[in-house]
Amino acid sequence: MLDHALGRPSPGWQRTQVLATVLGLLLWSRRRPPSRLASLIAFLTAAAWTVVLRTLAAMHALRHFALLTWMNEPESRARMYTRHYFRVTYLFNALDAGFLTAMHLRPAVLRDLASFLLTGFYLCCPVMAEHKIHAYRHSPTVQMLRVSLNKAAHPVLRFLTRAHRPRLGIRRNIVLPRPAPAPAETSFPGAQPLPAIPARLYYAGTPAELARCREVILQCPGGGFVAMNPTCHDDWTSTLAQRTGRPIVGLDYGKAPQYPFPWAIEECFDAYRTLLATRGACIGLRLPRGETLRVILLGDSAGGNLAVTTCYKAMLAADPVPMPQALLLIYPSLSFEMNCWLSPDEIALISSESAHQSGLFDLEHAKHRRREYAPLSEPPAPRGYDVKADRADTRTSWSTRWLPRCFARFRSDVRKGPDIPAALSMSSKFSYFRDRVLTPEMLRAFALLYLTKSPIPIDLEKDFLISPVLAPDALLAELPPVYMICGERDPLIDDTVLFAGRYRVVHEEAIRQRRTRERSRSMARRLHVKILPGISHGFLNMLGLLPE
C-alpha cells in the first residue's frame, strides 16, 4: 500500500510495510485485552488449533466474499481453450513460476530443490503463479526466457517424463562439419573459420539399419531464436522418429543475442548443404553410388521460420542446391509484423483459406462477426478434440445450460452483431494477447534479441529472410510440398493461414499457366493444413499430457 500511495512500486517499501505491521501486532499483543475481548478469547481458546482454523476460514471467506455472493468478475479465459490444454498450461505455469522464483539461488542443488518445492506451492495457488509469471514476462530478460523455455531439459523433469519418451536405438549428440569448400558468402566474416554445427541424431533402429536409410528429416527446433536445444524437444522428436522410421537430425544452432540474425539461417543452410554434399555420410548413411539423399525439413515455431528461409537460401545460392522433398511446419513463426489490424488483402486470404480448412471457421467468425454489445467476445472452444478422428467435443456443461435460465446476470446478449469492416479486423497476435503460453511481451523480446545486433540492415517490411510470408511469388512457386499444423487459438495462427493462402494462390496459378501433367496433381498433395480447435502454441512439448 505504501509504495502505491507514494507512486513508486518498490519491494523495499513493501518489505518495510510488512515489518512495521508485524512489529505493531507483536507490541499490541502484549497489552491486556479489554474485558469483552477477553471473554471472546476465552470462548475461542478451547483449543489453540481451533482458533487458527477458524481464523483461516474467516480470512479465506472474506477474501472470496465476491465469489461466494455471485458478485465476482467474469472469467475471460474460461472457455478459451479445451479442458485438457488449459489443464496442461496450469501445470506449466506452476513450473515456470517455481523455476523463475528460484533461478537466482546458489548453489545449483539448492536452486533445483527450491524450484520443485515452489512448483508444488504454485500448483496449490494458481492465481499467485499467474501473477508471478506476468511480473516476469512484463520485462523479460534472456535469463528469464531461457529458464522458462529450457525447463524441459532439466534432469529431474527428464526423469519424470521418461515414460513418454520412447526408446530409440540411436539418440546421441553429433557434430556436422561445415560444407566444403567453406561458404564464401557469410554475414559474419569476423567469425571465420566458422565452427562446426552441433546437432542431435534420433533413429529407432541400429547403426546398420541407419546406413541403409535413403531419407533424412532435418529438424530446426523452436525456442524464439533464443533458447531450446534439440534435447528440449526429445519427447515428441523421439516419438516422430519411432513412428516414421526415419533418422532425424536436430540442429543446435546458435541462439540470440550471442548469435543474432542471420546466423541461425546460415547455420541451418550449411547443415542442409553438408547433408546433401556428403549424401548422409556425416551421420552414418551409406547410399549407393549415384543415388541422391532425400531430405525433409521440419521446423516448429521459430524453427519453422528457419526451415522456410533455408529453402529460400537454397534458391538464391550461386551454386544450385536441390530443394528438400517437403516442408513440415508446426505452429511456425513466419512474420515479424506486430500490426494490430489486418489489411483487406490478408482478410481475403484468410476467408479464402477457410473454405479449404474446416478448423478455420471459428477464426474467420472471430474476425468477421462480433456480438453487438460484446465486441471482444470470442467463440467458445470445444471441451476436447480428437485429432485422429478430426472431431471436436462441443458438449456444454450443466452450468452453461441452466444458469442463464435461473439467473438474469448470466444471460448474455446473443444477438448477431454487425459485420466487422476489414479495417477493424484484428491480427491473431492481438486477438489472443491474453494467451497463457505466448504473450506480446515475449514476442517483442524475441524479435529485439534476434534482430538488434544483426550485422546487416533490418527491413521488416520487405526482407523475406526475416518474415518468410513476404517472399515474392517466384520463390513461393519453387517451394516443395508444405504440411502445416497449428492451434486455432495460437497468436501465430495468422502466420500459418496467410502463408498457406499465398502458397495456394501462387501454386494454383503456376499450375494453370504450365498446363502440363503437373496440373493433374491436386493441391492436397502440395499443401495440407491442420488446425486444432481450442489449442494454442507449443502443444507438441505437452505431448505426454494431452490426450488429443
C-alpha cell at 400: 452453461
Beta bridge partners, 300, equal: 330
Q: How high is the pLDDT of residue 73? A: 74
C-alpha radius of gyration, the chain, whole number: 27
Q: How many helices and strands, by DSSP H and E, does the chain display?
A: 22, 12
Q: Structure pTM?
A: 0.85
| Angstrom distance (rounded) from CA 29 to CA 33 | 8
> What is the tally of structural domains in the chain?
1
Taken in order 281, 284, 287, 289, the sign of the CA dihedral is positive
Residue 251's nearest CA partner among 279, 270, 235 is 270
Beta bridge partners, 176, equal: 197
Inside any domain, residue 34: no
Inside any domain, residue 523: yes
Q: How high is the pLDDT of residue 333? A: 96
Cis peptide before 491 (omega within 30 of 0): no
Which residues form the domain of 448? 74-183+194-548
**pLDDT tens per residue across span 155-204:** 889 888 888 889 999 999 999 999 887 665 788 888 778 899 999 999 99
109 burial (CB, 10 Å; 0-12 / 13-18 / 19+) is exposed
Query: φ, ψ for residue 167 (rounded to 5)?
Result: -75, 135
Strands (E), 208-324: 215-220, 248-251, 294-300
Distance of CA 409 to the CA centre of its chain: 36
Residue 129's nearest CA partner among 162, 165, 179, 91 is 91
| Angstrom distance (rounded) from CA 274 to CA 284 | 13
**pLDDT tens per residue across span 336-369:** 988 887 777 777 777 777 666 655 655 655 555 5
Can you list the alpha helix ranges (DSSP code H) found in 7-107? Answer: 11-29, 35-44, 48-63, 65-68, 83-101
Cα angle: 254, vertex 485, 489; to 5 degrees: 95
Measured from the Cβ of residue 491, the count of other Cβ atoms closer than 10 Å reads 26
* Amino acid of residue 534: G
Inside any domain, residue 3: no
CATH of the domain at 224: 3.40.50.1820
C-alpha cell at 67: 465469489
109 CB-side CA count, 13 A: 0
| Angstrom distance (rounded) from CA 179 to CA 185 | 12
Inside any domain, residue 28: no
Query: φ, ψ for residue 291 (rounded to 5)?
Result: -90, 140
Inside any domain, residue 48: no
Per-residue pLDDT of the chain (548 residues; tens, 9 = 90+): 554 454 445 556 556 766 676 666 556 555 555 555 566 666 555 556 566 666 777 787 787 777 778 787 777 676 788 888 988 999 999 999 999 999 999 999 999 999 999 999 999 888 899 999 999 998 899 999 999 999 998 988 988 888 888 999 999 999 999 988 766 578 888 877 889 999 999 999 999 999 999 999 999 999 999 999 999 999 999 999 999 999 999 999 999 999 999 999 999 999 999 999 999 999 999 999 889 999 999 999 999 999 999 999 999 988 889 999 999 999 999 999 888 877 777 777 777 776 666 556 556 555 555 555 555 656 666 666 666 666 666 666 555 555 555 554 444 544 454 555 555 577 888 888 889 999 999 999 999 999 999 999 999 999 999 999 999 999 999 999 999 999 989 999 999 999 999 999 998 887 777 655 554 456 667 899 999 988 999 999 988 788 76
C-alpha cell at 183: 561458404
Inside any domain, residue 63: no
Residue 534 · residue 87 · CB < 8 Å: no
| Angstrom distance (rounded) from CA 306 to CA 301 | 9
Residue 334 · residue 469 · CB < 8 Å: yes
496 burial (CB, 10 Å; 0-12 / 13-18 / 19+) is buried
Inside any domain, residue 59: no
Inside any domain, residue 283: yes
Cα angle: 430, vertex 467, 526; to 5 degrees: 100
C-alpha cell at 220: 530446426
Eight-class DSSP state of 168: -
DSSP H or E run through 527 = strand 527-532
124 CB-side CA count, 13 A: 5
Query: φ, ψ for residue 336 (rounded to 5)?
Result: -100, 5
184 burial (CB, 10 Å; 0-12 / 13-18 / 19+) is exposed
SS (H, E, C) 319-330: CCCCCCCEEEEE
